[in-house]
Amino acid sequence: MYQTLIACSELAAIIDDTDVIVVDCRFDLGAPAAARAAWLEAHVPGAVYAHLDDDLSGPPTTDRGRHPLPPPATIAARCGRLGIGDGSQVVIYDDSHGMVAARLWWMLRYLGHRPVAVLDGGWQHWVASGLPVRAGAESHPPRALGATPQVSRLVRIEAIDEAMCLLDARDEARYRGECEPVDPHAGHIPGAYNHCWRNNLAEDGRFLPPAALRERLTRALGRAPDESITHYCGSGVSACHNILAQYIAGGGEARLYAGSWSEWCRSPEHRGMMD
């Protein structure tokens, strides 16, 4: 059972297993329809497609962020339509070094589904390894996926306070408020530390070893990471990459503030804290 990362060679060895469901999560924020077209053109054999906006986000029931987290029953139903069932080993990949794939990894973990892993190196490494690809639409018979939400892993805006240890996954310039290309206000939640999700990666685009991840997270936080850490980013996507990195590093399964900066900076009660 793979629960964090899976190497391309490992996936190639099990890809024909009927209990293995591969999900392509490629996504381009500037061209939301482009990745689905890219999936149709070529993908890992058997991979179904999940769209960040349409499948991994939903109506703002838990937050007011740009990529609201759907209710647990909706997540389970959507994953079931992809062919993911209670016994499925799920493998997720993208072409953005696991940034979007980690969102679905977290969502399935949030439901209580454990056999789920991100393809280390993603689409680029699969192709560079000379492994087979396939064109055209793929699908699997729908399956039932149970939902036992791990409610302690999800943080809502009203729970955030000065005593909470927050880690911002955005790049340093956005964290410092020097620029804000997407949201209406620049800056970060007061008291938050910063660890850009890209700092989890080696030069080849794969995750760093556990010891290196732990060292970098410890440096960012000023202490060792543990389950009390709450991760956030712009809209609750790249923060999941840091949660995955922390879990790989042996720091426990941290919490996600799904609304993230896109929700927090829009809240009237926080406006004075940003001025």
- 152-181 pLDDT, tens per residue? 999 999 999 888 999 999 999 999 999 989
CA distances from 264 to 7, 75, 141, 163, 203 (A): 36, 23, 39, 17, 33
Give dist(CA 205, CA 91) in Å, integer: 17
Count of other CB atoms within 10 angstroms of residue 161: 7
Task: Give which of 202, 14, 3 is closest to 106, Cα–Cα.
Answer: 3
Percent of the chain clearing pLDDT 90 (strictly above): 82
Residue 169 near residue 238 (C-beta atoms within 8 A): yes
Q: What would you report as the CA-atom Rg of the chain, rounded to the nearest whole angstrom?
A: 18
Token pair, residue 250, equals 């042996």
Give dist(CA 266, CA 234) in Å, integer: 12
pLDDT per residue over 99-152, tens digit each? 999 999 999 999 999 999 999 999 999 999 999 999 999 999 999 999 899 999
The active-site residue out of 8, 25, 196, 233 is 233
Instruction: Name the pLDDT band for 59 (thresholds 50, 70, 90).
Output: low
Mean pLDDT for 12-16 is 97
* Average pLDDT score, the chain: 93
Instruction: Name the pLDDT band for 226 (thresholds 50, 70, 90).
Output: very high
Mark whether 233 is an active-site residue.
yes
Whether 188 shows a pLDDT value over 80: the answer reads yes
Q: Is the pTM of this model over 0.85?
A: yes
Give dist(CA 13, CA 127) in Å, integer: 16
pLDDT at 61: 46
Mean pLDDT for 48-62 is 80
pLDDT per residue over 228-263, tens digit each? 999 999 989 999 999 999 999 999 999 999 999 999
Bin 241: left if φ > 0, else alpha if -120 < ψ < 50, else beta. Answer: alpha
Count of other CB atoms within 10 angstroms of residue 264: 27
Q: How many residues make up the chain in this entry?
A: 275
